Amino acid sequence: MLWTFSSDRPIYSQLIDKIEFLILSGNYKPGEKLPSVRDFADIASVNPNTMQKALAELERKGLVITQRTSGKFITSDANLINDLKVEKAQELCFSFFNEMKKIGYDEKNTIEFLNNLRKGD
């Protein structure tokens, strides 16, 4: 898997998004052990300090937990992961509605459009 980064945002915040996505898509299971900061930095081809910063932020959010002697793990807290899922779904929808607005669909029209698309299947 290739990790790519856009140029307009800090790399650590893009790493956070990416790792959150990997959790939600099931690539990293709840309770799963994460690679060490070094290995993880190597996998993503980023600076270890940057990876450390991203993991620290994920830890602050509670999604990643450090066990003192055995390393970092994904949280086993299903509620926390579910909250993240809702948050991400909201983000995706907002940006979708936003893009639709730019090409002339207001919210009502967009929803209508979606329903018609479904019926057409």
Partner 1 sequence: MDNNVSSNLQTLLECKGITKKYGPFTALNFTNLKIAKGRIIGLLGPNGSGKTTLIKLITGLLTPNSGEIKINGLVVGTETKKMVSYLPERTYLNSWMKVCDIIDFFADFYSDFSKERAYSMLSKLNINPKDKLKTMSKGTKEKVQLILVMSRNADLYILDEPIAGVDPAARDYILKTIISNYSENATIIICTHLISDIEQILDDFIFIQNGSLVMASSVDEVREVQGKSVDALFREVFKC
Site for partner 1, rule CB under 8 A: 5, 7-12, 38, 41-42, 45-50, 53
Least separation in angstroms between residue 87's CB and partner 1 is 21
CA-closest candidate to residue 12, choices 60, 46, 59: 46
Quick one: 51 or 74, whose CB is closer to partner 1?
A: 51
Helices (H), the chain: 11-24, 37-44, 48-60, 78-102, 107-120
CA distances from 45 to 1, 3, 19, 68 (A): 11, 8, 14, 26
Least separation in angstroms between residue 84's CB and partner 1 is 23
Quick one: 12 or 28, whose CB is closer to partner 1?
A: 12
Least separation in angstroms between residue 90's CB and partner 1 is 23
Quick one: 52 or 110, whose CB is closer to partner 1?
A: 52
Q: How many angstroms separate the CA atoms of 114 and 121, rounded?
A: 11
Least separation in angstroms between residue 45's CB and partner 1 is 6
Quick one: 50 or 110, whose CB is closer to partner 1?
A: 50
Q: How many angstroms separate the CA atoms of 46 and 44, rounded?
A: 5
